Structure 1
């Protein structure tokens, strides 16, 4: 019972930072707790709602959101979520697992080699 608690805590911390807790939660569910990939991704989506809501509240309170830009992204994100959901339920679990792994690997490579943005002075 300790593994789901630690996975929830770690992915919550990551979510609060705006990185996305699914990068921790989904691999723990699939590889350690042997949950089917479709179920793991569904749990992640359910988990995302309260954690994102709390993080969003804190970031709005601290004036860290460009609402105009956010609304545009949200509108197209909803459309993408609808398309992605229909796609995910039609793909076999093994293929979905491979696609998620490739995505995480690509993001890891990107983060490893990307240049840090120049700091603004003044």
Structure 2
């Protein structure tokens, strides 16, 4: 790769991960199609993107942990139950028609963005709900399902996690984005990348340093901005990105 294409890949990765860290998901909206555009096969691009996205979680982790927006117990719960679905999804990817799955996910994400738009007070304050054993159990089923989507598809699962945490458990958008960046960006994507490789996909190592740098810097900057903006601004960013990701998956 010459320096012009390398610069384009870095800038695209930086922007994609900045938006993702700010709104709670959607890095694959730009980063994954870039890898396809530069000529990687689908499975290789998917595995490479998953591994690179771990740097997004690393970049965002320090800022969010410093803010102490959530407990480590909550994060550990999200990591464990979601990872079950991620491993299942990574092993299902070769058996699922990608076009049909991505269109279905696109419809779901568009619906969630529209739902968030019309629920003006959603996620503006912390309103703890469903945090008894029954609520955590039912929430586990939802997170495992989203984990399957994360393991098998390229974009949008972080957005699903963000809204699920807001709607089911009553987190604010700031808290939900922080949890999503650390648990999904760092752990789910790391486990998903390993599982995809185990299932037979290959990582394209020569481009990985560029993607890791873009993901880390974008995640760091996006996390910093998310702590400075209000829940209203983050909610708006979330809704804009769900619209873009949903349309991208549909067409």
Do 1:29 and 1:40's aligned partners in 2 also have CA atoms closer than 8 Å?
Answer: yes
**How many Å separate the matches in 2 of 1:42 and 1:104?**
22
Structure 1: gaps of 5 or more residues: none
Structure 2: gaps of 5 or more residues: 127-251
1:1-122 superposed matches below 5 A: 1=5, 2-17=7-22, 19-20=24-25, 21-30=27-36, 33=38, 35-117=40-122, 118-119=124-125
Q: Residue by residue, what CA displacement relative to the aligned partner does 1:23-70 show, whole Å, maximum 9, x if unpaired?
A: 33234445x556544344323211211111121122112222321111
Q: 1:87 to 1:62 in 2, by over 3 A?
A: same
Aligned-residue RMSD, C-alpha? 2.8
Deviation at 1:79, TM superposition (A): 0.3
Aligned residue pairs, count: 119
Greater RCO (CA < 8 Å, at least 6 residues apart): 2
**How many Å separate the matches in 1 of 2:111 and 2:45?**
20
Do 1:15 and 1:55's aligned partners in 2 also have CA atoms closer than 8 Å?
Answer: no
SS across alignment from 2:30: helix
Do 1:23 and 1:104's aligned partners in 2 also have CA atoms closer than 8 Å?
Answer: no
Q: 1:101 to 1:64 in 2, by over 3 A?
A: same
Deviates more, 1:42-51 or 1:19-28: 19-28
Q: 1:103 to 1:42 in 2, by over 3 A?
A: farther
Deviation at 1:8, TM superposition (A): 0.5
TM-score by length of 1: 0.72
TM-score by length of 2: 0.40
